[in-house]
Every structure is written in C-alpha cells, then in structure tokens.
Structure 1
Amino acid sequence: MKLTVVVPTYNLGAYIKALLDDLAAQTVDFELWLIDDGSTGETATRLTEFVRGISDFHAVQLAHRGVSVARNYGLQHATGDGIVFIDGDDLVAPTFVAALSQGLAQGAVLAAVGYEWFRRPRSRGNNFIELDQREMFAQVSQHGTEIGGYIWNKAFSRAALLTARLTFDESLHIAEDYLFTASFVAQTPGKYVYLPQVLYTKRNRPDSTIHTATWRDRQTEDTVFKRIHALQRLIQ
C-alpha cells in the first residue's frame, strides 16, 4: 500500500533538515506533501529544494492560517491508500513509512507505531497487536496512554477518512489532533493495529504550541476533551 505523508511546517529553522534527511532515508516509496504555513524564514525555500526533481514529492506555501489549514490541504490533495501526518520538527526511523504501510495492508483502518517523548512504549515486540474499535478509542481519547491520541505516529486509511468526511477543526490550535483521531475512531468500526517499536521521536522545541500554551488554551483543551468523551456514544 502506498502512503501519503503530510508535513505542516512553520518557521522551523534548523529543525527541518533532520526530518528531511529522515524522509530521504525511508525504505519504501511514498507520496509527500510539505505544506508551509506562511513561514517568514528559510523553511519554505528548504522544502522547495528538497522536492525538486521528485515527481511524488510536493512543496506548497500557504498564507499563515494555522496547522489545521495546512493539514487539511494535505488531506485534500493526498492520493495514497493511507495518510500519515508528521510534525516538521520531529524525527522518524527509516522503516517508519514501511511499517505503517504494512499495518494498513493487514486490513486495518488505522495503524500506529511506538513513539518516544519523555518515555518509551511499555509493550515490546516485533509484531502488530490487534485492537478493536472500543479498545482503540480508549487509547486515543485520553492523555497518558501508550498509543496516544496524537496523529503523528499513525496512518489512517484514506478510504475510511473519506467515508467519515473528516477534516481538522480549523478554529482550534490546541488538541485538534486528539479531536481528529478520536473522531475517526468513534466513526470507524474495523480493525486497528499497533506496532510497539519506537519509530517516531517527538522533539521538544521551546517555541512549539505545547510549550507556549496559555491558560485560555488549556481551557480550550478541556472543552475539546469533553467533546471527545461524548463521542464514545457512537461506538456500538
């Protein structure tokens, strides 16, 4: 299964080079959309240079409207069997795309891999673990779980996304990833798989959204999680 990788960027400076190197080292072919959210530095130029001469790689610069707008652009233009989201300041293993492709190829509507961010997965193993819809919703609808509700360690079936008619809420700039993932799982019965290998590394950038969140942002996050918890009623 061929995947589409969507990477939103905004003024990432030197951080973007490491991810571009990781993308160049992937062990399988994939479609790539690098979507810059109106950077004022060199980020957009680096993206353009990276994709030059590669037919399946695309770089686009939008007006600055937020990460959800950038991700939705990627959703609209993706052609792969599955869609993967990566944050532009993070790192991925060479087998990241291949592993997620293998997970979806098992008939899953969503595949996830282990990540490192202050901690490593509690589970161990080289094989995918199968979860049902209810088990996956429990993982993605709250903080502190092994799989998490983040979008960046997962591949979503594009067919299932189209069926759910799901996009990112462009009015949010915090917890929008949790809402997207939980909404997908709540609306999508089927097989879910998880590979407990660390193939994604979250880097701590001082000026990232998570580190600059205000008290009002935290209130918004609480409201979003109330919306997420209400989604459980959709699961039969």
Structure 2
Amino acid sequence: MNTMEQSLVSIIIPVYNAKAHLEACVQSILDQSYKHFELLLIDDGSSDGSSELCDELSQKSENIRVIHKENGGVSTARNRGLEEAGGEFIVFVDCDDMISQNYVESFIVASRDTDLVIGSIEDVYVDGTGKIYKPDLRVHKAPAQGILAEEYYDLIDWIRGPVAKLYRKAIIDEHHLRFDENLSVAEDQVFNFSYYRYVISYKIEERSLYQYFHYDTKISLSTLYTEKTFSNDVFKMDIEYTFLKEYCPNSYNMIYIHQVIGLLNKYTALQGDSRALSYYDRVKRLATLHPLVVDPSLGKKKQLIVRLLQMKLYWVVVVYYRYKNRQN
C-alpha cells in the first residue's frame, strides 16, 4: 500500500453540457478506494449549468480542480487536462459515465509490471425514462497479459478509445503526445496509436470496471448507418492501417482484411438508401483503399471474398452480402 500511495493519479473529465449526469460520475470517483488522486474537471464552455455544477462539486473534495475554458471540443479539453495534470498516471473518464469503486486501485496494482493496463467495460443502456433496460458486460478475447503487438487483433475493440485504461504520464510527456485538435473523427485513436508506439506489454485488469452509458438508444441499428458513418469508419480504418504496418508488421494484413470484411457486412444498406448501386460504390471504395492480400489465417469464405475483390468482381460481392443479410 505504501508504494501505491506514492503514485498520484490524474483523472481527467472533459465536461460539456452534462449537467444531468455529471454529479453521479463525479461521485463514483470520490467513492474510490484509492484516495491519492486529483480530479480535473475541464469545463469546455458549457451553457446548461454544468459550469456552475463543476464549481459546486469542487466544494465536496480538495481532490477536485475545475478548469473553465472556451468551447473548443473534447480534444482541446483533454489536452488542457494533460497540461494541468501532475500525476504519475492518467485516467480519462467521460462525464456521463461511471467507474467501479476499486477502479483506480486495481489499475495501480496491475501497473507494477506492465506498460499498459486495460480495464473492463459494461455497456449500460438507458431508456427515455431513465430506466436501465440492458447492462451488457463486454468479454475480453485476449489473454490476461501479453505483448500488445502480438495480441492487437483480439484487443482491437478495447484499445482504440481513451477510457478504461491507465496511461503513464512520463510516456505522454517525453514524446509530447496530444490529441489532434484538427480532427473531428478518430482523434482518440490517433492519440492512442502514438502512445502505443512506446508500449510493449499490456495487462487486463477486469476489476477496473468502466460503465459506459448509452442513453435512449432503443432504435434500430440500421438507422444509424449513413454515408457519414461509413466515411468515418473508412477514415478510422485507413489511419489504423498505417499504424499497424509499422507496429504489427506480421499481422497487419490479417487485421486489415477482417476490418474490410466487417464493413462490407455492416454497410449493405444505409439509412434511406438501400440501392444496390450505392452498395457497389462502397464495395469498390473498400476494395481500392489499400492492397488486399489473401491471408492463410482467414476462413475459406473470407479468402474467396478477398479474391473476388482482387479481381474487381464487385457485383458478385454485392449480391452475396445483400442476400446474406436478407437471410439474417
């Protein structure tokens, strides 16, 4: 415990118009079993009373510091938090989420023999009345600890965003890492890609539970798929491809092919546009973004899809996926 008490943890929360949920979020942090932390509430020019609430909450504990700034977006808020942070470790929490009571303590214990600690995430779905109708704990596929570059594919859904992980401030400071304030999409992924270049080992700490709240989401997923979300997903995949070629040279192609096929399956139709010709354009865009190489680790069906794309038989791929999704 003496070693733990020497490590100050900076918990950074960007706050923007989150009055309805901010107090519960902050309280989950004040309830931590690990007490040697500073909580930085970065008010990003809120206009709904969140600014005043931040000041009120700061009276609850001397661990809380409030920084008010003009609205500039979540990346500017996180960067301001990094500039203000004095801790050995950094934890990011979104202002409408919550963390388990031993979240920080479990992270610190696990950090003693690894470069990156990853927590667990519980997706909590809340309807329009504020009632939780589905808590869903995400299941880790990767080993509990290992080499990040070797297990990247099985960790891919966990390591893109900034929450549910523990960062070392020394790495961030030494390499002058910041969130790209010019990006409106995937800025958190770009930050993580930069950070992971200096990371070798990882450990999963399942007791560090992050509750990720989804409010009033009782709608069909198909209505969420638009040309904009498709373009955003392609952009994210494109920047990750560049990172993976360097960081995971032995497996980047396999990971990339899996992502391409995932988007082929996901975007067979868009909101308000189910035309086959539109889907054809998306298939062609995915097929020509980067070179496609058949990976022997792929199943036979996926290998066949890659070969069809290589031969520019896009209409065959269109027919296959649209028929496949109609059957599901």
> Which range, TM-score by smaller chain?
0.7 to 0.9
Partner of 2:84: 77
Query: How far off its partner does 1:212 sit?
Result: 8.7
Q: Helix, strand or coil for the counterpart of 1:117?
A: strand
Is contact 1:130-1:193 (8 Å) kept? yes
- Picking from 107, 111, 114, the partner of 2:117 is 111
Partner of 1:120: 137
Gaps of 5+ in 2: 1-6, 125-135, 218-222, 249-328
Is contact 2:123-2:213 (8 Å) kept? yes
The answer to whether 1:205 aligns with 2:215 is yes
Superposition TM-score, scaled by structure 1 size: 0.84
For 2:165, the aligned partner's letter is: K
For 1:14, the aligned partner's letter is: A
Q: Helix, strand or coil for the counterpart of 2:209?
A: strand
Change (3 A) 1:80 1:111: same
- Picking from 201, 222, 225, the partner of 2:234 is 222
Query: How far off its partner does 1:198 sit?
Result: 6.0
Partner of 2:313: none
For 1:222, the aligned partner's letter is: V
For 2:235, the aligned partner's letter is: T
Higher relative contact order (CA 8 A, sep 6+): 1
Q: Please give the root-mean-square deviation of Cα atoms over the aligned residues, in Å.
A: 2.6
Is contact 1:6-1:86 (8 Å) kept? yes
Q: Distance in 2 between matches of 1:79 and 1:225?
A: 34
The answer to whether 1:169 aligns with 2:169 is no
String of CA shifts for 1:3-41, please: whole Å, max 9, x gaps: 110000110121112101111101112011100111101
Partner of 1:15: 21
For 1:227, the aligned partner's letter is: I
Listed as ranges, the matches of 1:94-173 within 5 Å are: 94-104=101-111, 106-117=112-123, 119-123=136-140, 129-135=144-150, 137-139=152-154, 142=156, 145=157, 147-173=158-184
Superposition TM-score, scaled by structure 2 size: 0.62
Query: How far off its partner does 1:108 sit?
Result: 2.2
String of CA shifts for 1:141-179, please: whole Å, max 9, x gaps: x4xx3x342211011011112233211011223322222
Is contact 2:12-2:41 (8 Å) kept? yes
Query: How far off its partner does 1:80 sit?
Result: 0.8
Percent pairwise identity: 23
Q: Helix, strand or coil for the counterpart of 1:6?
A: strand
For 1:2, the aligned partner's letter is: L
Mean CA deviation greater in 195-204 or 69-78: 195-204
Query: How far off its partner does 1:218 sit?
Result: 4.3
Change (3 A) 1:50 1:153: same
Q: Helix, strand or coil for the counterpart of 1:52?
A: coil
Is contact 1:164-1:188 (8 Å) kept? no
Q: Distance in 1 between matches of 2:184 and 2:215?
A: 16
Is contact 1:67-1:173 (8 Å) kept? no
Q: Helix, strand or coil for the counterpart of 1:14?
A: helix
String of CA shifts for 1:119-147, please: whole Å, max 9, x gaps: 323249xxx9212130354355x4xx3x3
Listed as ranges, the matches of 1:35-50 within 5 Å are: 35-50=42-57
The answer to whether 1:231 aligns with 2:243 is yes
Equivalenced residue count is: 224
Is contact 1:116-1:198 (8 Å) kept? no
Query: How far off its partner does 1:203 sit?
Result: 0.5
Is contact 1:109-1:160 (8 Å) kept? no
